[in-house]
Amino acid sequence: MADNLTEQKILEAATNVFQTKGMDGARMQEIADKAGINKAMLHYYYRSKQKLFEAVFKTAIAIMAPKLREIINKEEPLFDKIRNFTNGYISLINQHSYLPTFIIQELNRNPNILKDTFNKEFGNGFMKMRAQIEQMVKNGEIRPIAPEQLIMNVISMSIFPFVAKPILKSVLQKEDKDYQQLLEARKTHVADFIINAIKIQ
């Protein structure tokens, strides 16, 4: 995909514009300008705005999916899995900080885009994690907790600080640099916090 140089430049520019402005707010002219080529070329390579958008969205998913698949499918003790998930995911998003907002925004516009793909790819992994949590609760190895709530907590604390960056920066009265440090520290903080919440003392 995007083997040609021009095609590559278009995809990069489109990613940039779509991820900041969304599908509706994006302008083909701005994408062309950012790519340093003419508007007509966008249509030559991608036919329509819709198709170009889909290419960008697929690329975004392709960045997130392998890491998520790796973490979620690995067989390992729950605490290790929590550490790997939070650390791995926060690191990944740090390098692509617009991705979660972009994906969430477009999924709210059209909730069905991913449903099947997601279930097929990750449903199994998450259900295993669910069973793992349930079993540990039963064995008295961790505090009683609904597995779904724990999974929600893990994902929420990993991703939300990126999605709500403007709000949280304001709440915490931080500048960009300081906020960045807080995110960095979360790579270990989130797992520590969660494990403290569920482990038997």
Q: Which residues bind DNA (CB under 7 A)?
A: 4, 6, 26-29, 37-41, 43-44, 47-50
Gyration radius of the chain over CA positions: 20
Question: 28 or 63, CB closer to DNA?
Answer: 28
Interaction partner, residue 148 (DNA, a copy of itself, none; CB < 5-8 Å by kind) = a copy of itself
Q: Enumerate the β-bridge partners of residue 199.
A: 142
Classified as helix, coil or strand, 142 is strand
User: Is the distance from CB of 48 to CB of 26 less than 8 angstroms?
Assistant: no
Question: 62 or 104, CB closer to a copy of itself?
Answer: 104
Q: How far is the CB of 12 from DNA (least distance, A)?
A: 14
User: Is the distance from CB of 158 to CB of 86 less than 8 angstroms?
Assistant: yes
Interaction partner, residue 73 (DNA, a copy of itself, none; CB < 5-8 Å by kind) = none
Q: Quote the distance between the C-alpha of residue 44 and its chain's center.
A: 31
- Of 4-12, 19-27, 36-44, 83-91, the segment contacting a copy of itself by CB under 8 A is 19-27
Among 71, 82, 136, 186, binds a copy of itself (CB under 8 A): 186
Among 28, 63, 78, 155, binds a copy of itself (CB under 8 A): 155
Q: What is the number of other CB atoms lying within 10 angstroms of the CB of residue 154?
A: 19
Listed residue (94, 111, 10) closest to 59, CA to CA: 10
Measured CA to CA, the distance from residue 123 to residue 79 in angstroms comes to 20
Measured CA to CA, the distance from residue 38 to residue 10 in angstroms comes to 10
Interaction partner, residue 184 (DNA, a copy of itself, none; CB < 5-8 Å by kind) = none
Q: Quote the distance between the C-alpha of residue 128 and its chain's center.
A: 21
Q: How far is the CB of 137 from a copy of itself (least distance, A)?
A: 14
Q: Number of helices and strands (H, E) in the chain?
A: 11, 0
Among 118, 132, 135, 191, binds a copy of itself (CB under 8 A): 118
What residues make contact with a copy of itself under the rule CB under 8 A?
A: 21-25, 101, 103-105, 107-109, 111, 114-115, 118-119, 122-123, 126-127, 143, 145-146, 148-149, 151-153, 155-157, 159-161, 163-168, 170-174, 182, 185-186, 189-190, 193-194, 196-198, 201
